[in-house]
Structure 1
Amino acid sequence: MTNNTHLTDEQRIDWLRLIRSDNVGPRTFRSLINHFGSARTALDRLPDLARRGGAARPGRICSEQDAEAEIAASKHIGVSLVAPTEPAYPPRLALIDDAPPLLGVRGALEVLARPMIAIVGSRNASGAGLKFTERLARDLGDAGFVIASGLARGIDQAAHRASIDNGTMAVLAGGHDRIYPAEHEDLLQAMLRSGAAISEMPLGHVPRARDFPRRNRLISGVALGVVVVEAAHRSGSLITARIAAEQGREVFAVPGSPLDPRAAGTNDLIKQGATLTTEAADVINAVAPIMERPVELPSREPEDVPSYDEPDNSDRTRIVGLLGPSPIGLDDLIRMAGTSPAVVRTVLLELELAGRLERHGGGLVSLL
């Protein structure tokens, strides 16, 4: 499916209400759409599902008025809320399991359809790291790639600055009106003339520590590959590299001195199989075969309402009993429960809407 299926105004309001409601993340959103066929029907069923999942009180459901107000406020600052099947949505991002159902985009939106390479690294970067980043970003930009990064200090900032003329994209951890760090607002404004910015967060959302790993999946998700220039052990850039590998993206690492702790993470990535990168050609040669394959997008709002398997109390008791604090795979859970996949998914959906379930990478789930 191509990026040309538009939501109606009513669907966009319903989608925004659903994703802004309590305990509904991107994966839960997709499960609800798959179960009920539309966001409108899912919204009607949320209180009942949460109650069956054991919620003490119903979670907040975003009102139609709040959704309309967010859409109007977004338009006022030049932000469009787009769905994965619409033209302004980055096509590769639409393929990840937890793609945002609605993405806030602004700037020169045509760059979002171009091939992207993400460049990330240390906030406390070395002079050599910054210089290499500038050269790499410029060379990749000259070769036709849009550079994606997280607008952070250090490597991110250098990557954005060096690729302003060719097009660069910032992935924001907060709302479009809450730029972090604040001193990069001028940089972002300069980027938006020939580049873009995206965020899944509502306007007014101030980024917190837990928002940055969530943001990192979007940095890797938009890109053909991720280049890590400098990264200490246990750094956010290594989280981005790990997520990139899980998403099937190419991972590139720039080698550094064994004596510099800022190179410890990148040197480890190379040992683990990341592509050693010393020039733009290393990246271009690796992603060239991927670029030749067309991007096929899934539909997110089916026209036909799928069948809905209603679990009984014995199903719920058995499935909840199999869950615990240790993550378990969905396939294992279905096998052990001895019931249909639809019943298991419905119980998991109920638990999630009750705030009792945590989803992990690789299709793993655990009980909170």
Structure 2
Amino acid sequence: MKKIIVLCVAALSLPIAIAQEKITLTQAECRQMALAHSEDLQKADNAVMQAELDKDIAFAAYLPKLDATATGTYMFPDMDMMGAKLQMRGMYLAGISLTQPIYAGGQIRAGNRLSEIGKDCALENQRKARMQVIADADNAYWTYIAVLWKVRMLESYKAQMDTLFRQTESGVSAGMATENDLLRITAKKSEIHYQLQKAENGANLCRLALCNVLGCDLDTSIEPTDTVIKVSLPAELDTDISMRPELRLLHKQVEAAEQQVKMSRAEVLPTIGLSAGYMYFGNIKMKSEVGGQSFTQKIEDGNALVSVLVNIPLFHWGEGTQKIKKARLDLQNAQLDLQKNTR
């Protein structure tokens, strides 16, 4: 029976011990944990990898494309061709083709440039997300420290008021103080107790916010070790904001809009492509009858071909022109956004 009680007590105390996990944390460790946990930063990393894949996809448009086809056909009835029967029962056709774009109106070049701009934007967004995570971690860390110091200050103040209350109470008993003095101290004690409760609740909320930033369990107790902010101001403040990711993204948006105009213009220009291929067909039978005798000729052969394809858009009800106008308006909007944030 005694063993069962000991096991029950141990089982009940285990979650409490786990819930009261305590970690000591420096500012540098706080930043590292926040960067490792941040979902926004992980999404930004994925966006960079997607931009790399987009670059590979866009570059593939320069390269020739190799395709293979195969077809099986069963046709009935047989075709009559000048007294002979053309029989295609199980005819097959197989081929391979190679297609190389020669001129696409600049669309391929603009697409590749857009993919490069997309990668640059992804890198800037990654840098922006990293800066935001560090800023949030620092803010949560130092806010928690500030509230903890406020709690300690109020605890010290409360201890002083408790001492003063006991001294005044003794003074009232000795006739050296009045009840009014004691009441004023009691009211002040109540006010300090209320302020201390508020500060303790605020410290707990700040701890929860810091746990959320760090990605650790919400029951974790955190003891910050860097409690002094060291600020070193430069001799001359730098007002250059040209390297800020927000501004660089605005410049990249203008560049992307310029390439979109070129893409829209390329849709109304001629395109030229070169194609080469080889086709092989078989299991075609030609049946005929001469002098009462039946003859069957089996046809199997292959052909190679080379072709040049030229496509010239002639009339699409103004669709291409409208796309160009729309792209130019998007470019103008991007330029206005840049102008608005740089003046």
Give the structure-2-normalised TM-score.
0.16
Give the structure-1-normalised TM-score.
0.15
Q: Which has the higher strand share?
A: 2
Larger radius of gyration between Structure 1 and Structure 2: 2
Q: Which has the higher helix share?
A: 2
Highest relative contact order (Cα 8 Å, sep 6+), 1 or 2? 2
